[in-house]
Amino acid sequence: MTDHPEDKIRQRAYQLWEEQGRPEGKHAEHWQQATDESAGGETPPHRLQEDPAEGDRDTIERELDRQDSPDNSAGA
């Protein structure tokens, strides 16, 4: 368990990096966002991500539609 604020920031920045697909060159943004979150900023933790790439967006939308719609095969 970490007791140092910097360790928590580091872990959160790493989590953000992974959630966003491990993009190169974004370490400063992830660190800043993690720092802002730890300081009690308005950014909600755990769910901030950039918009997914267009191909990923289509996949995500299809998956969400599939989860939200009732099973059509049972009534058809």
pLDDT > 90 in the chain, percent? 24
Mean of pLDDT over the chain = 74
Q: Which residue has the higher pLDDT, 37 or 55?
A: 37
Please report which confidence band the pLDDT of residue 71 belongs to, taking 50, 70 and 90 as the band edges.
low
Please report which confidence band the pLDDT of residue 72 belongs to, taking 50, 70 and 90 as the band edges.
very low
Helix, strand counts (H, E) of the chain: 4, 0
What does the pLDDT read at residue 11? 92
What integer is the mean pLDDT of 70-76?
51
Burial environment of residue 20 by CB neighbours within 10 A (0 to 12, 13 to 18, 19 or more): middle
Q: Give the Cα separation of 37 and 39 in Å (integer).
A: 5
What does the pLDDT read at residue 59? 73
